[in-house]
Amino acid sequence: MRQYALIQSPNPNQLIRAVNKALKEGWECIGGVAIFTTVLGMVDQKVVQVYVQAMTKEEKLVTP
């Protein structure tokens, strides 16, 4: 069974560390990094860029 995950962070260095960790655990990247801008907060409305990497991993089914 194939699993799918999204790793995201507003900090590119944190994203790199998380993706490198996932790669060591057998995950594979799908495509490149996506970047989107969002507004946080109802009053302050701070604009933040978020970096996202899609990952996939094949998991073997365990049968009794």
The count of domains in the chain is 1
pLDDT of residue 42: 78
In a domain, 64, yes or no: no
**pTM score:** 0.81
pLDDT in tens, 5-58: 999 999 999 999 999 999 999 999 999 999 999 888 778 888 999 999 999 999
- Domain of residue 53 covers 2-58
Torsion of CA 27, 56, 13, 45, to 10 degrees: -150
Position 63 in a domain: no
Q: Which amino acid is at 64?
A: P
What residue has token string 């701070």? 46
> What's the pLDDT at 60?
80
Assess if residue 40 is contained within a domain. Answer: yes
CA atoms of 28 and 19, how far apart (whole Å): 9
